[in-house]
A and B are shown apart, each in its own frame.
Chain A
Amino acid sequence: MSLLELKDISKIYGELKALDNVSIHVDKGEWVAIMGPSGSGKSTMMNIIGCMDKPSKGQVFLDGVDISKESSRKLTEIRRDKIGLIFQQFHMVNYLTAVENIMVSQYYHSLPDEEEALEALGRVGLRDRAKHLPSQLSGGEQQRVCVARALINHPELILADEPTGNLDEANENIVLDLFRQLHREGTTLIVVTHDPEVAEAAQRTIVLEHGRVAREIINENFQE
C-alpha cells in the first residue's frame, strides 16, 4: 500500500530545475535510500516530502492526501503528525538538555512526557546522558539523540538527510541498527546518503542525477 507518491514534480529556481519531472512511489513500511551527486536535488526533494517546501509543478500524495497545494499552516500540522526528521548536522536546541530536546518535539506534537522521552533516550543507549547539554555530547551521541527525537512521536515516515555523514564507523552502525529496528516496527524510512554502505542497508535505492531519477536499484541482499 502506498504511503508516498510523487507525480511529475518539478522544482524550478529561475533557470535551474533542481527537480525535473520526478515521479517516485514509496510503500508503507518500505525503507528507501536516495543517492546522487551533490546538487542533484536530493535535499530539495526531502524538503518537499517533509512538507517544508512546495513543488513548482506536480502533485505529492502523502497517505492519500495531496500536499502540494496545502497552506503552510496545514503543512506544519502534517509534518508534526506524520513525519520524523533527522539531519546531517545534528540540529539540537543548544541550551536544552538531551531529554529536553526530545521533549520539545513532544511539546509541539502533543504533550511533553519526561518518562517517555527518557525511554527513547534509553533506546539509543543514552539514558545516562539525559541531563547533558548538546555541547557536552559527542557528534555521534548528538545524532543518536536526534534519532530518539525523530521517533518519539511514532511518525509514519522518517526522513533522514545524510544522517551518518558526520559520524564514525561505530556510531554509523548504531544509527543503522536503530533504522533496522524502526523498519521492523513498520516505520517507513527515506534516507538520503552518499555512503554506499548506508544505501545497501535499505531495500531499494533511488539515484538522482540533474534533478531526474536516473535509476532504481532493488537490494537483493536486504535482510529483515
Chain B
Amino acid sequence: MNTKRKMFLKMVTASLLRRRSRMLIALLSIAVGATILSGLVTIYYDVPRQMGAQFRNYGANMILVPASGASMTTESASEALKEIPPDNLIGASPYRYVNVEMTSRQRTFIAAGTDFEQVMSTSPYFVVEGEWPRNDREILVGKETAELVGVKINSVMELSFRNEETKKRNRINFTVSGLLDTGGEEESYLFMTMKAMEDLTGITDTLDVMEMSVSAAEDELNSYAEAISAANPDISARLVKRVTKSEASVLSKLQALVLIVTLVVLALTMICVCTTMMAVVSERRREIGLRKALGASDQSIRAEFLGEGMFLGLLGGLLGTALGFAFAQFVSVNVFESSISFQPLLLPLTVVVSVVVSALSCMLPIKNAIAVDPALVLKGE
C-alpha cells in the first residue's frame, strides 16, 4: 500500500478509535439502524415462507378436476403432479365420490374414497374424534351424519352399493374408527380408503378431484396451474381463490409495513448521524483549521470526513448485521415458532446500505468542515 493511502487510513481510523466519545454515538446509531435494516430484511424475505406454512393450515390451495367431457385417472393425476417441484408439494389428496346406502336406515350418503395420509397434510383442519381409519374396513363418519343415523365410534355400519351394469347390490360391513369435525360440508360425508371403495363399488381408477396444498406465492401457483393444464388436456388445474387471495393480501400488507418501517428507521439513522457529525465537526473546528493551515485542500478535508463516515458505516454495518440476524431470529422464534437460516447476501447488503447512509449523512457536516477558516488557528481561538 502506498504511504499516502496508509496515512489516510491511519488518520481516519485513529480519529474513530482514539477519540471515541461522540463518534461512538454515531457508530451506535448506525449499528442500530443496520440492525433494524438487516433484521427486517431477513423477516421480509422469510415472512412469505413462514406465512405460507401458516396458511397451509387452512387447506388446499389448488385442485385438479377432470376437464369438461374428459375423465381423470389416478395415473393422469400423478402425471400432472410432476409439474410441481416435490419440495413445494406439501400434500395431494385424491378423492372419488360415490353414493352409497346405509342398509339399516335405507338412506344414501356421499362416500369419499381417499388417501388418509395425504388428507392429514392437505386438510390439517380436519379434527377426528377417535382414530383415523387404519385399514380398508374402517371408515370416518362426518359428525352430522353420525348424529343423524346415531352411530358412534366402533359402531359397525353395513354399506351397500348397486352396480348399474351387473344390477347386483354389494354389501360390506365397516367399523367406524372416528368421527370427523370440520365445520364444513365434509361433516355429512363418509370417508374410506380407495381400496375400500373399490371393494364396495367395483369402480377403479377414476378420480373426481385431487386436492393439493402447494407452498408457493399466487403467481407461482398460477404458473403451475397453467403448466398442468397445458401438459394434460384431460385435466384442469384451479386455484382455491379464497385461500390464495387472503394469503397474498396479508403478505403484501405485511411487506409494505416492513418496508415503511425500514425507511423510517434509515431516515432516523441519517438524522442522528448527521447531527452527531455536525457536533463532531464543530468540536473539531480547531483541528480542521490546523489541517487547512498545514495545506489540506477542500478535497482532502472532504475525503477525510467521508472516510471517517464510511469507516463508521462499515463498522456499524458489520455490527448491525450480526445483531439484526439475532433480532430476526428472536422474532421468528417467538412469532412464527420456527428458526431462520442466515442469508449470506444480507452481509454485503447491510454493509453497503450502512456505508451509503453514513456517507450521505456526512454531506452537511462536511460542508461545515470545508467552510472552517484556517486563520482561526492563528487567532488562538
Is B291 an interface position by the 8 A CB rule?
yes
Q: Are A161 and B287 in contact (CB under 8 A)?
A: no
Distance of A88 Cα from B377 Cα, bound (Å):
9
Q: Are B4 and A111 in contact (CB under 8 A)?
A: yes
Extra inter-chain contacts (14) besides given A103-B7, A108-B291, CB under 8 Å: A43-B378, A73-B298, A79-B293, A80-B295, A85-B378, A88-B380, A93-B287, A93-B290, A94-B287, A108-B294, A108-B295, A109-B295, A112-B7, A161-B378
Q: Are A53 and B375 in contact (CB under 8 A)?
A: yes
Which residues on the A side are within 8 Å of B58 (C-beta)?
none
Which residues on the A side are within 8 Å of B291 (C-beta)?
93, 104, 108
Is A91 an interface position by the 8 A CB rule?
yes
Question: Which of A91, A95, A113 is within 8 Å of B286, CB to CB?
Answer: A91
Question: Which of B10, B14, B287, B375 is within 8 Å of A47, CB to CB?
Answer: B375
Distance of A14 Cα from B297 Cα, bound (Å):
29
For residue A204, give the distance in angstroms from its CB to the closest CB of chain B. 22
Distance of A47 Cα from B11 Cα, bound (Å):
27
- Smallest Cβ-Cβ distance to A161: which chain B residue: B378
The digit string for A92-132, where 1 denotes a CB below 8 A from any CB of B, is 11111000100111111101110000000000000000000
Distance of A120 Cα from B7 Cα, bound (Å):
18
Most buried by A among B290, B293, B294, B375: B294
Given contacts A50-B378, A95-B18, is CB(A112)–CB(B6) below 8 Å? Answer: yes
Distance of A96 Cα from B18 Cα, bound (Å):
8
Q: Are A96 and B378 in contact (CB under 8 A)?
A: no
Q: Are B7 and A107 in contact (CB under 8 A)?
A: yes
In the complex, 10 of the A-B residue pairs with CB atoms within 8 angstroms, ordered by the A residue number, are A53-B375, A73-B297, A80-B295, A88-B380, A105-B294, A106-B7, A107-B4, A107-B11, A108-B297, A111-B4
Distance of A89 Cα from B380 Cα, bound (Å):
6
Is B379 an interface position by the 8 A CB rule?
yes
Question: Which of A47, A81, A95 is within 8 Å of B19, CB to CB?
Answer: A95
The digit string for B268-290, where 1 denotes a CB below 8 A from any CB of A, is 00000000000000000011011
On A, residues with C-beta under 8 Å from B are: 43, 46-47, 50, 52-53, 73, 76-77, 79-81, 85, 87-89, 91-96, 100, 103-109, 111-113, 133, 149, 161
Which residues on the A side are within 8 Å of B56 (C-beta)?
none
Which residues on the A side are within 8 Å of B15 (C-beta)?
95
For residue A104, give the distance in angstroms from its CB to the closest CB of chain B. 6
Q: Are B14 and A95 in contact (CB under 8 A)?
A: yes
For residue A186, give the distance in angstroms from its CB to the closest CB of chain B. 21
Distance of A92 Cα from B8 Cα, bound (Å):
17
For residue A132, give the distance in angstroms from its CB to the closest CB of chain B. 13
For residue A79, give the distance in angstroms from its CB to the closest CB of chain B. 6
Which residues on the B side are within 8 Å of A109 (C-beta)?
295
For residue B379, give the distance in angstroms from its CB to the closest CB of chain A. 6
Which residues on the B side are within 8 Å of A81 (C-beta)?
295
Which residues on the A side are within 8 Å of B378 (C-beta)?
43, 46-47, 50, 52, 85, 87, 161
Distance of A95 Cα from B287 Cα, bound (Å):
10
Is B296 an interface position by the 8 A CB rule?
yes
Distance of A100 Cα from B295 Cα, bound (Å):
16
Distance of A149 Cα from B290 Cα, bound (Å):
12
Given contacts A107-B4, A112-B3, is CB(A85)–CB(B14) below 8 Å? Answer: no
Q: Are A96 and B14 in contact (CB under 8 A)?
A: yes
- Smallest Cβ-Cβ distance to B299: which chain A residue: A73
Q: Are A108 and B375 in contact (CB under 8 A)?
A: no
Distance of A106 Cα from B293 Cα, bound (Å):
13
Which residues on the B side are within 8 Å of A52 (C-beta)?
292-293, 373-375, 378
Q: Which residues of chain B in 1-28 are interfacial with respect to chain A, using CB atoms and an 8 Å cutoff?
A: 2-4, 6-8, 10-11, 14-15, 18-19
Which residues on the B side are within 8 Å of A91 (C-beta)?
286-287, 289-290, 293, 377
Given contacts A47-B375, A76-B292, is CB(A113)–CB(B3) below 8 Å? Answer: yes
Most buried by B among A81, A96, A109: A96
Which residues on the A side are within 8 Å of B6 (C-beta)?
112
Q: Are B3 and A108 in contact (CB under 8 A)?
A: no
